[in-house]
């Protein structure tokens, strides 16, 4: 695509958005002048219509389209469950599914535990704001940026040459030989997981720290008067008090982990047995010209995310009933 074509496409998109905004504005203008009978209902329809249209075009239609494509081949012909049979019979794809499960088990758990421990230990300490800022800083870095940073950390140079990778330099200092970390399976998967934990720990720490500060001081003082030690106060007072926040943190990080793509694509491109569902979905749909298989993987990803969302909604509903 030439520069002129790209500019033309941008003009078309901007023009389309301007026309859409103008139509919506005119609808609001004429609505304001409409008769009062039935005016409230028309207001409801017109105010909701733009949002509903955008939700349909950006969410509902793509979801339906993807679900239908999951049952077609690369020519668009219906092929039943062939894409799903392929998914669960190919060793490479099975390895991808296993990697995704490992990511979902480790990243939310470790991020939440480390974030919670950090929040508890630095609560009301001197320099609390600085310590929090240091841990939260990785959240300000994009996934691609974080992947590039850690790719340098894991960088490999042949033995006898100067190492620019921090991890291999440490190994050399202790008399070892440099290792091709990102090409060595299965340790490379866990090294990629470290990057995600590094990013998400700050989010867990901030949310849980705020939740801990919201626990009533009276409850903690009453527990202390009853003779409980700090660990007992933490497990019997603090943890129940921040249960809702823990659920939010775990579910949010779990969903983000299931959709992880940037880190894997940037650091290994899914090679050396490190691929996950989101990366494989992209590879099949856009690299291998197999949109049906990519859509099938997307459908499986949606099915994996759905129980987490349902559980989160149920917990929030129970908390609302208690209040």
* pLDDT(303) > 50: yes
104 φ, ψ (degrees, to nearest 5):
-70, -30
Of 242, 149, 238, 229, the C-alpha closest to 196 is 149
Q: Which residue has the higher pLDDT, 262 or 288?
A: 262
pLDDT, tens digit, 9 for 90 and up, residues 217-273? 888 888 888 888 888 888 888 888 888 889 889 999 998 998 899 999 999 998 999
Q: Cβ(293)–Cβ(300) under 8 Å? A: no
Q: Is residue 74 part of a domain?
A: no
pLDDT score for 162: 86
pLDDT score for 76: 81
Q: Is residue 167 part of a domain?
A: yes
Of 98, 95, 62, 103, the C-alpha closest to 285 is 62
CATH number of the domain within which 119 lies:
1.10.3720.10
Range among 27-36, 120-129, 156-165, 190-199 rated most confident: 190-199
Where in the sequence is the domain holding 95, given as residue range(s)?
A: 84-322
Shared domain for 178 and 235, answered yes or no, is yes
* pLDDT(41) > 80: no
Shared domain for 269 and 124, answered yes or no, is yes
Q: Is residue 316 part of a domain?
A: yes
> What's the pTM?
0.81
* pLDDT(278) > 70: yes
pLDDT score for 4: 44
Q: What angle do CA 56, 57, 61 make, to 5 degrees?
A: 70
Above pLDDT 90, what percent of the chain?
A: 31
Q: Cβ(215)–Cβ(223) under 8 Å? A: no
Shared domain for 47 and 134, answered yes or no, is no
What is the rounded distance in angstroms from the CA atom of residue 277 to the CA atom of residue 212?
35
247 sits in the region (left: phi over 0; alpha: psi -120 to 50; else beta) called: alpha
User: If you average pLDDT over residues 267-287, what whole number do you get?
Assistant: 89
pLDDT, tens digit, 9 for 90 and up, residues 147-199? 999 999 999 988 888 888 999 999 999 988 999 999 998 999 999 999 999 99
Tell me how far apart the terminal alpha carbons of the chain are, to the nearest angstrom: 57
Shared domain for 11 and 95, answered yes or no, is no
* pLDDT(139) > 80: yes
Question: What DSSP letter does each residue of 309-323 carry, written as one string?
Answer: HHHHHHHHHHHHHH-
Is residue 235 exposed (0-12), middle (13-18) or buried (19+ Cβ within 10 Å)?
Answer: exposed
Tokens of 41: 């209902």
Shared domain for 255 and 282, answered yes or no, is yes
Shared domain for 92 and 201, answered yes or no, is yes
- Mark out the alpha helices in 123-216 (DSSP H runs): 128-136, 143-153, 166-173, 187-214
What is the rounded distance in angstroms from the CA atom of residue 93 to the CA atom of residue 88?
7
| Number of independent structural domains in the chain | 2
Q: Which residue has the higher pLDDT, 202 or 52?
A: 202
Q: Is residue 78 part of a domain?
A: no
Tokens of 261: 């793509």
What is the rounded distance in angstroms from the CA atom of residue 91 to the CA atom of residue 230?
49
């Amino acid at each position: 695509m030439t520069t002129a074509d790209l500019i033309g496409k941008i003009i078309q998109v901007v023009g389309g958005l301007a026309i859409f905004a103008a139509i919506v504005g005119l609808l609001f203008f004429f609505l304001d002048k409409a008769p009062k009978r039935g005016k409230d209902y028309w207001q409801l329809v017109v105010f909701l219509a733009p949002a509903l249209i955008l939700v349909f075009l950006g969410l509902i239609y793509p979801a339906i389209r993807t679900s239908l494509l999951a049952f077609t081949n690369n020519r668009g012909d219906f092929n039943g469950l062939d894409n799903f049979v392929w998914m669960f019979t190919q060793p490479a794809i099975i390895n991808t599914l296993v990697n995704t499960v490992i990511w979902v088990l480790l990243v939310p758990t470790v991020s939440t535990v480390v974030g919670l421990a950090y929040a508890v230990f630095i609560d009301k300490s001197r320099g609390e704001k600085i310590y929090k800022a240091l841990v939260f800083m990785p959240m300000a870095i994009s996934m691609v940026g974080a992947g590039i940073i850690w790719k340098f950390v894991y960088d490999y140079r042949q033995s006898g040459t100067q190492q620019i990778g921090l991890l291999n330099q440490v190994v050399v200092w202790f008399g070892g030989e440099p290792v091709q970390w990102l090409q060595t399976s299965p340790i490379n998967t866990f090294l990629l997981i470290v990057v995600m934990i590094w990013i998400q720990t700050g989010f867990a720490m901030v949310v849980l720290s705020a939740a801990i500060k919201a626990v009533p001081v009276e409850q903690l003082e009453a527990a202390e008067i009853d003779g409980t030690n700090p660990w007992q106060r933490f497990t019997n007072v603090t943890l129940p008090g921040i249960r809702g926040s823990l659920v939010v943190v775990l579910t949010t990080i779990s969903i983000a982990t299931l959709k992880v793509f940037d880190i894997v694509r940037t650091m290994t491109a899914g090679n050396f047995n490190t691929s996950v569902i989101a990366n494989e979905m992209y590879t099949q749909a856009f690299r291998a010209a197999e949109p049906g298989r990519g859509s099938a993987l997307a459908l499986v990803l949606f099915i994996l995310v759905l129980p987490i969302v349902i559980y989160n909604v149920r917990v929030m509903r129970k908390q609302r009933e208690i209040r």
